Amino acid sequence: MSQSLVVAPSLQRRAQTTRWIARAIALLICALVIARAVAVSLAESYPLTFWASQLVNGLVLGGVYALVALGYTLVYGILLMINFAHGEVMMVGGVAGFFALQLAQALGWMRGPAGLVAVALLVVMGVGMIGAMLTGVTLERIAYRPLRNAPRLVPLISAIGASLFLQYSVLLVFGVSPLVYQRPALISGGFRVGPVFIPYTGLIIFVTSLALMGALFVIVQRTRLGRAMRAVAADRDTAALMGVDVNQIITFTFLLGSALAGAAGVMLGFHNSVIKFNSGFIPGLKAFTAAVMGGIGNIPGAMVGALVLGIAESIGPSALGIPAEYKDIIAFVLLVLVLIFRPQGLLGEALAEKKV
Amino acid sequence: MKRPPILLFATSLTVCALLAACAAPAQPAAPAQPAQPPAEPTQTPTGPMQAPAPAAGPGTVVIPPGSKIRIGGSFALTGPIPDPGKDIRQGAEIAIDDANAAGGVNGFMFELVAEDGACSGDQGTVVGNKFAADPTIVAVTGGTCSGETFGLKPILLKARIPFVSPSATNPAVTGEDCDVCNRVALSDGLQGEVDADFVFNTLGFKKVAVMHDSSDYGKGVAEIFRDAFQKLGGEVIAFEGAKVGDTDFRAPLTKIGAGQPDLIFFGGYATEAALIAQQMKEVAGLENAKFMGVDGAYTQQYLDTAGAAAEGTYMSFVAGDTQKDKMDAFVEKYVAKFGIEPSKLGPFHGQSYDSVLLIVEAIKKVAQTDSAGNLVIDREALIKAIRGTSGLEGITGTLTCSPIGECGAGGVQVFTVENGAFKQIFGFGLQ
């Protein structure tokens, strides 16, 4: 569908110049960052175990970002739309999981034998995923489907509205105080690998993320539904002509993405102990960043972007010798650098090029 | 380079949103209190037609008969400490009830106009503008947090509306340059120094790390503690910031753990304090380190969130010189009206009651009734009367305002957590 635009040579030259200036500035930033990192590592000698611990922190953070980033990437791949309410879907999953946990505690499951506790935890996670799935699908039905043929900015703005709506609905219903996840003894604490401490919740997040991402990959690449999804992503109209129920596939896509986000919400609740109405906002932005960094629309790209982002956020402040409250700046500088050198993202936009 | 423009737009939107979020750590515009109409000034007994236009200069508040004396309140009802904010609001309502039960002023009753200051400077500015635009607001109790009060301060100073804060503890809340600024809570200048003395001399720790939440309040008290601790001869190995609303502190804690401090001092509010106390147990180098927080975290919320990790942590509080019988009477009314023990919500209800009491007593001194039966309050006289408060018996002790507006009584207390409850071990009023 790419109509080749005829662009005046002078404009082309100007675009070229701008691009080279941007690259020069980016190179300068890279050089400064590297110089700073070298200077800091010479001045402060952290032991190797310190870096290992920060790497663990980063991988856990990256696992959470990855689960949420996949939701952005899936929806973008199919609809070319940024679902800005996706972070809130994660938050709603966390809230739903919280109430399942309350129930499990009231029933005494959390003090039972390890097997029962493990089952209860899976149930809590399941409830969180279902809560998020219901939210995601409802959102698609009410806020996005009526706008499917509208200009692209319209559903984006609708998504921002949906995000605010979800945040303040939770605020009104559950109040401003954070909901506190009580960790059962089974997953409190952690274990040591040499001198590096790994919390159980962190390990669970990382392993579960990898498992869920693997499951997603199999669904998309190896099943009939996955094939239909890829067909809709490649060309919606043609897919419809071939007998694919486009609405059903889009609903299914939201279902998948939301389930992953719900799992992330529950695990984040256990890992960081609290969930409240705006808990999804910042992780949602970070996950979106990760998705863009890895190449939006590209499933492995979202995972890679998320892990890179998580590690940069946890190691960055120490490596550059800057206060930890600037970790967000590191994340976004990284995003800008990636976009300047590889506008298509680290692994490339898998699906989008056919569409634009 | 055929990037879909939507992606660029979305990216820039993300960055903007994040910048905004950094400027004001996720403080929502509050679900507002039911909007009060600014006033009903034309409702006089002579009928709406002939209301004698009150001769209100900008420097006076004229309250026609039948109207109420309106006291503004800026409370942190949303934001990081909603429960203490609610407690402070309810304490103020009891004070208003008591003032009305005692007959008000010359038959005029008081009314509390509660707004949500959300514990943030931005929202404090919004509330300040609301009050400044409302000519019937006589005085303000609040704000709850220091940052919020910094938002209120310049606006109220310009509008000549005096305020008394029950709980904003940053030293810069009051000062010689501000005649409308008063508070009942004690300044963090004191709290930071007492805490440093406690850690250095009583606990005997010489190597600490300091963290804060980057709020005006948290960073302020953390800096005072750091400076005082260094002056005593202690070593501060790290001064690390986070943000209000952060939930994962493992990265800065890992950095701190590399220096193996004896104690982590945190300037900030309850949720962040609780999460740090919990997560530091998962970080190498901090297995045996203690945790200490300050008055913003001295709440039930801290105990509930931190759970078992709260045991053995320390917490300081800027306590009033509590008068037991008065406090008991207050708690009885509070429970009867709101159905909950005030201490379950927050620690500053006594100070909140006294802030309103201070305003009410000052209004009683300066209010006059004119020939038309209106109550006339001169703003400048009221500002002077509040600042001139001396020997007023409140719940939190005998209140006397210093020349810069420090009106509170009491001292700093240090608590430790034992079996899920705070127990005082050091400082003011310890038997």
pLDDT band at residue A309, thresholds of 50, 70 and 90?
Answer: very high
Residues of chain B neighbouring A273 (CB-CB closer than 8 A)? 247, 274-275, 278, 305
Which residues fall within 8 angstroms of residue B189, CB to CB, at 6 or more apart?
A: B171, B224
B142 to chain A, closest Cα gap in Å: 20
- Torsion angles phi and psi, residue B207, rounded to 5: -130, 110
% of chain A with per-residue pLDDT over 70? 96
Least reliable range by pLDDT among A22-31, A42-51, A125-134, B328-337: A42-51
% of chain A with per-residue pLDDT over 90? 45
Asked if domains B60-186+322-400 and B189-319+413-427 share a fold, the reply is yes
Size of interface A-B (CB pairs under 8 A): 141
pLDDT value at residue B404: 92
pLDDT value at residue A7: 63
Q: Please state which CATH class domain B60-186+322-400 belongs to.
A: alpha beta
**CB-based contact, B284 to chain A, within 8 Å:** yes
Question: At residue B132, does pLDDT exceed 90?
Answer: yes
Least reliable range by pLDDT among A59-68, A277-286, A319-328: A319-328
Question: At residue A41, does pLDDT exceed 90?
Answer: no
Residues of chain A neighbouring B21 (CB-CB closer than 8 A)? 281-282, 285
pLDDT band at residue B12, thresholds of 50, 70 and 90?
Answer: low
Which 8-state DSSP code applies to residue A141? I
> Where are the domains positioned within chain A?
17-38+295-356, 81-279
- Torsion angles phi and psi, residue A192, rounded to 5: -110, 135
> Where are the domains positioned within chain B?
60-186+322-400, 189-319+413-427
Distance CA B264, CA B270 (A): 15
A98 to chain B, closest Cα gap in Å: 14
In 3D space, the residue among A103, A62, A69, A64 whose CA is nearest the CA of residue A83 turns out to be: A69
pLDDT value at residue B13: 56
**CB-based contact, B258 to chain A, within 8 Å:** yes
Tens digit of each residue's pLDDT (9 = 90 or more) over B260-308: 999 999 999 999 999 999 999 888 888 889 999 999 999 998 999 998 8
In 3D space, the residue among B204, B211, B213, B196 whose CA is nearest the CA of residue B147 turns out to be: B213
Mean pLDDT of B234-245: 91
Distance CA A132, CA A145 (A): 18
**CB-based contact, B234 to chain A, within 8 Å:** no
ipTM value: 0.84
pLDDT band at residue B90, thresholds of 50, 70 and 90?
Answer: very high
**A residues 262-281 closer than 8 Å to B (CB):** 268, 271-274, 277-279, 281
pLDDT band at residue B9, thresholds of 50, 70 and 90?
Answer: low
Mean pLDDT of A280-297: 90
CATH architecture of B189-319+413-427: 3-Layer(aba) Sandwich (3.40)
Which of A273, A324, A339 is facing B252, going by the closest CB pair?
Answer: A324
A119 to chain B, closest Cα gap in Å: 23
Structure tokens that stand for A348 in this block: 């490339």
**CB-based contact, B260 to chain A, within 8 Å:** no
B3: exposed, middle or buried (Cβ count in 10 Å: 0-12, 13-18, 19+) = middle
User: B406 and B299 in contact (C-beta within 8 Å)?
Assistant: no
- Residues A180-183: contacts with CB under 8 Å, at least 24 apart: A180/A273, A180/A274, A180/B304, A180/B305, A180/B307, A181/A97, A181/A98, A181/A101, A181/A269, A181/A270, A181/A273, A181/A274, A181/A275, A182/A101, A182/A105, A182/A110, A182/B307, A183/A270, A183/A273
Residues of chain A neighbouring B271 (CB-CB closer than 8 A)? 178, 274
Q: What is the 3-state secondary structure (H, E, C) of B245-257?
A: CCCCCHHHHHHHH
% of chain B with per-residue pLDDT over 70? 86
Which of B31, B83, B255 is facing A318, going by the closest CB pair?
Answer: B255
pLDDT value at residue A327: 84
Beta carbons of A273 and B247 less than 8 Å apart: yes
